[in-house]
């Protein structure tokens, strides 16, 4: 029996996650689900952004789906973004973010790439301090171990999609120790896995330009945490914007699907939230965690067919419902 931990979170998380859970229930009739809490609302209610019970539930289920959480952009004592805590506590070391052209909503056809973002370290270790002399300092940590783990996933995904090109994105010209360690560790793992001939490199600034200029040329991209965060938001313009961008936080024997978008307080409660990012995140669980590519294909085809027939994703106050009904009806 398959189990799924459902963490709706804040804002539109609670609106889009149930749609993805409905889709998974249709495709996996024996799926057992359990709800767990996380986020800003949870912190205000209980004093903890990620209660121990949520971690326990995730570990027991193995698979989870997470909506979004709100985080204030100033320091609040005792609060740290729930998704960062979940990624670190559950050793979800890799974040897989596919970007592809969809009918109607993509500004350009023939784009099909995956960004693999290191998910556990870099600037997101949260070690910031003031030195008392008007200097704010943030530490950036890169380890051989985490870089190799990411590269092992990279080799696995490259084999699954028969990759033609693997691009390592870094800034080793300015940060030769940290970015250099990331690049060299990844290159070594990829060489051992037989992928040397497909590997190339880009400095992150030029990678950003090329993702805008000629996104078709990318296939698999691997990069460090902050660069991956920024480049994946940029690249998801090509799939139709944040409302369509899925991701999978992926560890060893554990995975948490998560739309790339946040809690969208500007539209929460209006019925306008696009559930496609959450639905496509559920497809990533099917493909990569449960190893059920045929079911993932079915869900992605239902999305493509819905978009083709609908001709738009803007249904005003009925966006969430109309897209949910349209995709679920096409699941067969």
Q: Which single residue is written with the structure tokens 């961008």?
A: 245
Pairing assessment for the beta strands 199-203 and 166-170 based on DSSP bridges: parallel
Q: What share of the chain is helix, strand, coil (3-state, %, to 5)?
A: 45, 20, 35
User: What does 235 bind: Mg ion, ligand NAI, none (CB cut-off 5 to 8 Å by kind)?
Assistant: none
CA 103 vs CA 13, 146, 256, 275, 293: distances in Å = 25, 36, 27, 16, 21
The alpha carbon torsion through 247, 278, 70, 47 (nearest 10 deg) reads: -90
Identified binder of ligand NAI from the candidate list 51, 64, 122, 262, rule CB under 6 A: 262
Q: Which single residue is written with the structure tokens 């493909």?
A: 287
Nearer to ligand NAI, 165 or 321 (CB): 321
42 binds ligand NAI, rule: CB under 6 A: no
Q: Is 205 in the active site? A: yes
User: What does 229 bind: ligand NAI, Mg ion, none (CB cut-off 5 to 8 Å by kind)?
Assistant: Mg ion
Long-range contacts formed by 176-183: CB under 8 A, 24+ apart = 177/142, 178/140, 178/141, 178/142, 178/224, 179/142, 179/224, 181/142, 181/143, 181/144, 181/147, 182/118, 182/142, 182/147, 182/224
Torsional sign, CA 7, 21, 277, 321: negative
79, 112, 219, 233: the catalytic one is 233
Under a CB-based contact definition with an 8 Å cutoff, are residues 274 and 244 in contact? yes
Of 58-87, binders to ligand NAI (CB under 6 A) are 68-71, 83
267 binds ligand NAI, rule: CB under 6 A: yes
CA 229 vs CA 95, 191, 208, 322, 326: distances in Å = 9, 26, 12, 30, 30
10, 22, 149, 171: the catalytic one is 171
Q: Is 233 in the active site? A: yes
125 binds ligand NAI, rule: CB under 6 A: no
Q: To the nearest whole angstrom, how small is the minimum distance from the Cβ of residue 313 to ligand NAI?
A: 9
Nearer to Mg ion, 115 or 158 (CB): 115
State which residue has the least CB distance to ligand NAI.
262
Site string for ligand NAI, 209-248 (x = CB under 6 A): ---------------------------------xx-----
d(CA 198, CA 125): 31
Nearer to Mg ion, 190 or 264 (CB): 264
264 binds ligand NAI, rule: CB under 6 A: yes
229 binds Mg ion, rule: CB under 5 A: yes
Nearer to ligand NAI, 58 or 168 (CB): 58
Nearer to Mg ion, 121 or 229 (CB): 229
Of 289-318, binders to ligand NAI (CB under 6 A) are none
Positions in the binding site for Mg ion (CB under 5 A): 229
Q: Return the active site residues.
A: 124, 171, 205, 229, 233
Residues near ligand NAI (CB under 6 A): 12, 16, 68-71, 83, 242-243, 258, 261-267, 273-274, 277
């Amino acid at each position: 029996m398959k189990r799924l931990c459902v963490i709706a979170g804040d804002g539109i998380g609670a609106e889009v996650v149930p749609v993805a859970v409905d889709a998974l229930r249709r495709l996996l009739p024996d799926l057992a689900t359990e709800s767990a809490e996380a986020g800003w609302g949870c912190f205000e209610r209980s004093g903890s952004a990620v209660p121990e019970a949520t971690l326990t539930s995730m570990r027991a289920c193995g698979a989870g789906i997470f909506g979004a959480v709100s985080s204030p952009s100033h320091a609040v004592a005792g609060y740290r973004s729930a998704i960062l805590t979940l990624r670190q506590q559950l050793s979800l070391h890799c974040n897989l973010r596919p970007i592809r052209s969809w009918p109607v909503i993509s500004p350009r056809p023939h784009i099909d790439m995956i960004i693999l973002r290191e998910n556990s370290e870099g600037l997101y270790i949260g070690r910031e301090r003031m030195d008392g002399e008007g200097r704010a300092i943030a530490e950036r940590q890169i380890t051989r171990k985490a870089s190799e783990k990411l590269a092992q996933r990279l080799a696995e995904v490259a084999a699954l999609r028969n990759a033609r090109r693997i691009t390592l994105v870094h800034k080793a010209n300015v940060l030769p120790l940290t970015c250099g360690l990331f690049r060299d560790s990844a290159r070594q793992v990829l060489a051992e896995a037989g992928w040397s001939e497909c590997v190339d490199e880009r400095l992150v600034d030029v990678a950003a330009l090329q993702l805008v200029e000629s996104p078709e040329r990318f296939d698999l991209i691997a990069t460090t945490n902050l660069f991956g965060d920024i480049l994946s938001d940029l690249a998801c313009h090509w799939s139709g914007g944040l409302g369509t961008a899925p991701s999978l936080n992926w560890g060893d024997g554990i995975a948490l699907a998560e739309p790339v978008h946040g809690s969208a307080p500007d539209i929460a409660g209006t019925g306008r939230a696009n559930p496609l990012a959450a639905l496509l995140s559920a497809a990533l669980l099917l493909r990569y965690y449960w190893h059920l590519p045929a079911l993932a294909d079915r869900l992605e085809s239902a999305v493509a067919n819905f978009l083709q027939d609908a001709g738009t994703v803007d249904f005003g106050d009925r966006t969430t419902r109309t897209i949910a009904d349209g995709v679920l009806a096409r699941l067969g």
